[in-house]
Structure 1
Amino acid sequence: MMSGVRRATILISTLLVAFLGQHCAVAFAPATSLINKPTQLRARPLFETANNPKLAPGDTLPNELPQIPFVTKTVPSDRSQDLQIGEDCGVFDIQQENWGSLGDRGWYTFCAAVATILTAVAVLWVYPPTGYADDFTAGLESIAGGNPHIVTLLFGIIFPIVHSGLASLRPYGEQVVGARMWRVIFAFPSLCLSYSWIAYFIAHVHDGYTFYDLSHNPAAHTIAWLINFASFFFLYPSVFNLKEVAAVEIPKIHLWETGMIRITRHPQFVGQVMWSAAHLAMVGTTFTALTMALLVGHHAFACWNGDRRLYQEHGEDFLKVKERTSIVPFQAILEGRQVLPKDVYKEFLRGPYAVIAVFTLGAYFAHPYMQGGAALVKNTGLVQGGILDGLFS
């Protein structure tokens, strides 16, 4: 039975590698090669109407979807008080989006790229008979002597070194393998380690000394839920550029000037503080406190590292934006260094924020499945080896 599973997984992995190689040949090609592609690979708008006739021969004209104010097309920001050297964040127009063909810079390629890397993570890391997440966690537990506090401490050391380290090496890595391939190299270990740390945290959240446990208190649950929900809106604006995240488009180090950046220059740090505080307020164990401290500490370091990388990329332009912003929320506004436009709310009524709201609600309702999955991982324990063992035998 096990050998059959392994053979099937090897076959799937071989097909994935073949697909990824074919995809990379197109996705990582110079922009000039895309211009000269045959007509059948030409990207087409996601929604096309009689007023926007860009259909290929033989295609039929789809019905135009109704426009949703703010969501499907961004209302321009009032940038009269801005330096206008940074970008406007969360800009979106659904009529300008392209499905394209597989290999183009459209959403078909995005879906294929995301499916490929998530499948690779599942096969090479998550699934115990073929992956190495269980071996990695078992190794940490062996080093820690089974102490979950030391295990989460090791996660809190290894993850920042890998995640922030690869981010810092980006300028050098991109020169060797290109921007898109470096994004894959950066994303894969980060996803693997994130999965393992999250699964371990959920499975051991009540370990250690318990100061209090308000997880079943309705009032505490409601307050924590509201803080958690709000924290996801502090995602760094570059996360909105999904095609860059998936390396379908060339990843860039953006200099943002609108939206959440007006409130805090490092919104992901603020969001992590909110998320960690809400979870710690619910479950007051020593294990939870240590894990939350490690997460916040990593994001605090990322504030310094992020400023360093932005200066390295944008030079004096970043220093000008830095002068008008602050890490502490609202500090620059209260000090008069940042002047909010009267209709600043329009910068938050945008498609990406609607997606975040839906995702956050989905993540909340998925909590029982996360807890069940983490319990399954813990109870399954170590399944020796993985799919790559044959390469090293």
Structure 2
Amino acid sequence: MLVLLFLFAVIHSGGAALRSHAETRIGARAWRLIFAATSIPSAVVVIGYFLSHRYDGVRLWNLQGVPGMVPMIWALTAISFLFLYPATYNLLEIPALLKPKVRLYATGIIRISRHPQAIGQILWCFSHALWIGSSFMLVTCLGLIGHHLFAVWHGDRRLRARFGDAFEELRQNTSVIPFRAVIDGRQQLLWQEALRPSQLGIAIAVGVFWYAHRFIPIGSAAFLSSKLEGLLS
């Protein structure tokens, strides 16, 4: 699992590092297609392997029968999605239907944390590690959190190189730790910014994932079967 996470990190973060150089040579749309064509399949492999092995190793704890655990896990997961996806990218830029652009965001979820994806991933890892409790899950979470902590540094470095003083101003007025900039007065939350189509999309996605969870055992079995067929052939 750590090998797969490392390879994904190299592909994803390495592709992000090459973005400015690649766009000047082949264009933003072409590079986005190449980046998506490598990142998305590698992510699918990581997710498939995780689903097939999430209970492997030693069961360190089992809290699944504790009253109130299920709604708490779903609440934490829903909150993690609110950090993971809104204001991070324009979905139409993934297939390059719109020209991909690097932007500085200072509104919405960025007021709470400058790196919402890292915070969302940490929340997701905490909730799922609490629920599953296996040593495999713990190692997976350590790998995911490690990658996203690196991405915090890497992302700031790339934005500083690209935007200079504009990024420094954004950095000074925001925080990585959630709500820190709000508490010390550098940011003010505006409820109007939460009323966006992306938030509705996240709510729909949470509902879809909740419904799809019942099919995870079937999908995991199919993934393992395809791996075995590939090895035998």
User: Normalising by structure 2, what TM-score?
Assistant: 0.94
Amino acid at match of 2:169: K
How far does residue 334 in structure 1 lie from its aligned partner after superposition?
1.7
- Mapped partners of 1:158, 1:313: distance in 2: 26
| Aligned pairs for 1:76-87 within 5 A | none
Amino acid at match of 1:346: Q
Query: Where does residue 86 of structure 1 map in the other structure?
Result: none
Contact 1:239–1:245 (Cα < 8 Å) also in 2? no
Query: Where does residue 276 of structure 1 map in the other structure?
Result: 125
How far does residue 164 in structure 1 lie from its aligned partner after superposition?
0.3
Query: Where does residue 221 of structure 2 map in the other structure?
Result: 375
Query: C-alpha offsets along residues 109-163 of structure 1, whole Å, 9 cap, x if unaligned?
Result: xxxxxxxxxxxxxxxxxxxxxxxxxxxxxxxxxxxxxxxxxxx010121110111
How far does residue 246 in structure 1 lie from its aligned partner after superposition?
2.1
How far does residue 256 in structure 1 lie from its aligned partner after superposition?
0.5
Query: Where does residue 360 of structure 1 map in the other structure?
Result: 206
- Mapped partners of 1:208, 1:337: distance in 2: 45
Contact 1:238–1:254 (Cα < 8 Å) also in 2? no
* Residues matched between the structures, number: 231
Unaligned runs of 5+ in 1: 1-151, 386-393
How far does residue 284 in structure 1 lie from its aligned partner after superposition?
1.1
Aligned-residue sequence identity (percent) comes to 38
Are residue 225 (structure 1) and residue 71 (structure 2) matched? Answer: no
The structure where helix makes up a greater share of residues is: 2
Contact 1:236–1:266 (Cα < 8 Å) also in 2? no
**Aligned mate of 1:327, from 172, 176, 183:** 176
How far does residue 236 in structure 1 lie from its aligned partner after superposition?
4.8
How far does residue 220 in structure 1 lie from its aligned partner after superposition?
1.3
| Aligned pairs for 1:304-315 within 5 A | 304-315=153-164
Are residue 301 (structure 1) and residue 150 (structure 2) matched? Answer: yes
Contact 2:4–2:46 (Cα < 8 Å) also in 1? yes
Query: Where does residue 117 of structure 1 map in the other structure?
Result: none
Unaligned runs of 5+ in 2: none
Amino acid at match of 2:219: G
- Mapped partners of 2:85, 2:132: distance in 1: 27
| Aligned pairs for 1:16-55 within 5 A | none
Query: C-alpha offsets along residues 66-113 of structure 1, whole Å, 9 cap, x if unaligned?
Result: xxxxxxxxxxxxxxxxxxxxxxxxxxxxxxxxxxxxxxxxxxxxxxxx
- Mapped partners of 1:348, 1:321: distance in 2: 20
Amino acid at match of 1:374: S
| Aligned pairs for 1:26-175 within 5 A | 152-175=1-24
Q: Closer, same or farther in 2 for the Cα pair 1:299/1:309, shift >3 Å?
A: same
- Mapped partners of 2:176, 2:48: distance in 1: 30
- Mapped partners of 1:384, 1:351: distance in 2: 42
User: Normalising by structure 1, what TM-score?
Assistant: 0.57
Contact 2:22–2:31 (Cα < 8 Å) also in 1? yes
Contact 1:162–1:190 (Cα < 8 Å) also in 2? yes
Contact 2:33–2:96 (Cα < 8 Å) also in 1? yes
Query: C-alpha offsets along residues 181-207 of structure 1, whole Å, 9 cap, x if unaligned?
Result: 111111112111111111111111111
How far does residue 382 in structure 1 lie from its aligned partner after superposition?
3.5
Query: Rg larger in 1 or in 2?
Result: 1
Q: Closer, same or farther in 2 for the Cα pair 1:208/1:245, shift >3 Å?
A: same
Contact 1:237–1:256 (Cα < 8 Å) also in 2? no
- Mapped partners of 1:306, 1:182: distance in 2: 18
Query: Where does residue 254 of structure 1 map in the other structure?
Result: 103
**Aligned mate of 1:186, from 35, 43, 51:** 35
Query: C-alpha offsets along residues 333-392 of structure 1, whole Å, 9 cap, x if unaligned?
Result: 222222x15xx111101111011110111012111223311211113333449xxxxxxx
How far does residue 311 in structure 1 lie from its aligned partner after superposition?
1.3
Query: Where does residue 243 of structure 1 map in the other structure?
Result: 92
How far does residue 240 in structure 1 lie from its aligned partner after superposition?
4.8
The alignment partner of 1:214 has SS state of: coil
- Mapped partners of 2:119, 2:176: distance in 1: 8
Which 4+ residue blocks in structure 1 deviate beyond 3 angstroms?
215-218, 236-240, 382-385
Query: Where does residue 317 of structure 1 map in the other structure?
Result: 166
Contact 2:87–2:108 (Cα < 8 Å) also in 1? no
- Mapped partners of 1:313, 1:240: distance in 2: 17
